[in-house]
């Protein structure tokens, strides 16, 4: 089957095969990779290699910590303000969809939030034009969601905080659904976080990449596990980490290197998305409402002109091995997620099915 799930998403087949072998007997050690101490030398090597491979792929500068944490991107919605708000300050947030809204709601519990720009009135179909942004010059940081997984809206630029604020305001990004899909200049960010279950590995881990000077400023009373500085000081092993997820993420990083790294992935991802959008735009039978420059390369929502045919579309697609194409429950319709592990052949099969379905039902 070709799996278009938005998350937990498809993993590379080669990675799953390797994991299958290591699950029973890790490198002849007589135990599974899930059954070894996280402090033993075997797992410490797995963990260190995973971090190094991720650093290599993204070119993470030396003055950034890479953390492997728990609680998903959702806990980051709270952990970011806890660590970066510094007392009573307020932070700036751009609102481009459901995930931005959730991040904003959580930050509001912990301090002030200024929504710099929102596309809500437009039903989240575009990134608001920079000329309409209203930054608060005292903001502790600027938060945005480069790729909105549900609405399929992706930024076509990285906000330049020096230009917006006239000073170094840390840029914070929820990269959950587009990290590792193309090269990224990490030095432009104060902090990046990404839940693993799309382009990194299985669920259970969230990667945080944070500039060192932003660490160690949590208010008194902050729970130990929510202080980035504690995680950094303990190599993300203050408590028992999700070892299997970490190990599998490491295999995915090695697979990405074998594919030629992020520049190579970016080319393939661009081709996949272009092919699917061309199929949608090529007929009145299918539609996608997102403004052209902001169409997501990773998550492609689409509708049928006759919404009454959706169930049939999904059932027929499923029967042909094109699985997990239902849109998010909050918006309906269809959604094809095209993360790194989704091969070009999957998009070929999907577009062929779409043409055939239209011919029979259009």
CB closer to ligand PLP out of 23 and 110? 110
What does 286-311 look like in DSSP terms, one character per residue?
A: EE--S-GGGB-SSEEEEEESSGGGHH
Tally of residues, the chain: 362
Active site residue 102: no
Question: 22, 92, 119, 198: which one is catalytic?
Answer: 198
Selected from 64, 99, 144, 285, the binder of ligand PLP by CB under 6 A is 99
Size of the site for ligand PLP (CB under 6 A): 11
> What are residue 142's phi and psi, to 5 degrees?
-115, 125
Determine the residue with CB nearest ligand PLP: 72
Selected from 96, 176, 243, 340, the binder of ligand PLP by CB under 6 A is 176
Question: 53, 92, 136, 174: which one is catalytic?
Answer: 174
Contacts of 181 by beta carbon, 8 Å cutoff, 6+ apart: 199, 262, 265, 266, 269, 297, 298, 339, 340
Structure tokens at 276: 């699917």
Active site residue 174: yes
**Considering the complex, what minimum distance in angstroms separates the CB of residue 75 from ligand PLP?**
7
**Considering the complex, what minimum distance in angstroms separates the CB of residue 149 from ligand PLP?**
3
Stretch of residues binding ligand PLP (CB under 6 A), selected from 49-57, 66-74, 83-91, 151-159: 66-74
- The three-state secondary structure class of 57 is helix
Q: Is 130 left (phi over 0), alpha (psi -120 to 50) or beta?
A: alpha
* Contact between residue 74 and residue 102 where contact means Cβ atoms under 8 Å apart: yes
**Considering the complex, what minimum distance in angstroms separates the CB of residue 360 from ligand PLP?**
33
Distance of CA 16 to the CA centre of its chain: 20
Stretch of residues binding ligand PLP (CB under 6 A), selected from 22-30, 35-43, 174-182, 275-283: 174-182
Residue 145 touching ligand PLP (CB under 6 A): yes
* Contact between residue 188 and residue 162 where contact means Cβ atoms under 8 Å apart: no
Question: 99, 119, 227, 255: which one is catalytic?
Answer: 99
- Residues 362 and 359: their CA atoms lie apart, in Å, by 6
User: What are the residues binding ligand PLP (CB under 6 A)?
Assistant: 7, 72-74, 99, 145, 149, 174, 176-177, 195
Annotated binding site: 39, 73-74, 99, 149, 174, 197, 239-240
Annotated binding site for pyridoxal 5'-phosphate: 73-74, 99, 149, 174, 197, 239-240
Annotated binding site for L-glutamate: 39
């Amino acid at each position: 089957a070709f799996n278009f799930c938005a998350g937990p998403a498809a993993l590379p087949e080669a990675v799953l095969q390797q994991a299958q072998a290591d699950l029973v007997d890790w490198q002849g050690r007589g135990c599974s990779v899930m059954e070894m101490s996280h402090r033993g030398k075997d797992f410490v090597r797995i963990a260190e290699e995973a971090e190094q491979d991720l650093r290599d792929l993204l070119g993470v500068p030396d003055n950034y910590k890479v953390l492997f944490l728990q609680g998903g991107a959702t806990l980051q919605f709270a952990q970011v303000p806890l660590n970066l708000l510094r007392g009573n300050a307020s932070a700036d947030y751009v609102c481009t969809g459901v995930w931005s809204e959730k991040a904003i709601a959580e930050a509001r519990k912990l301090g002030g939030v200024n929504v710099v720009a929102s596309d809500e009135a437009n039903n989240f179909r575009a990134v608001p034009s920079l000329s309409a942004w209203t930054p608060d010059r005292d903001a502790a940081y600027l938060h945005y969601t480069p790729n909105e997984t549900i609405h399929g809206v992706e930024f076509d630029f990285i906000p330049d905080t020096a230009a917006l604020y006239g000073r170094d305001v840390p840029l914070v990004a929820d990269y959950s659904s587009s990290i590792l899909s193309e090269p990224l200049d990490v030095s432009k960010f104060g902090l990046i976080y990404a839940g693993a279950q799309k382009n990194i590995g299985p669920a259970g881990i969230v990667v945080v990449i944070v500039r060192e000077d932003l660490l160690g400023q949590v208010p008194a009373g902050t729970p130990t596990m929510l202080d980035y500085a504690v995680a950094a000081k303990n190599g993300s092993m203050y408590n028992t980490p999700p070892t299997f997820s970490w190990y599998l993420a490491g295999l995915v990083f090695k697979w990405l290197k074998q594919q030629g790294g992020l520049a190579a992935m970016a080319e393939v991802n661009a081709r996949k998305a272009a092919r699917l959008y061309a199929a949608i735009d090529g007929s009145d039978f299918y539609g996608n409402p997102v403004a052209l420059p902001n169409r997501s390369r990773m998550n492609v929502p689409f509708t049928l002109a006759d919404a009454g045919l959706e169930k049939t579309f999904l059932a027929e697609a499923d029967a042909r091995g094109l699985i997990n194409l239902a849109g998010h429950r909050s918006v309906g319709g269809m959604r094809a997620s095209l993360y790194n592990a989704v091969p070009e052949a999957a998009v070929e099969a999907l577009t062929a099915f779409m043409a055939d379905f239209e011919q029979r039902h259009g």
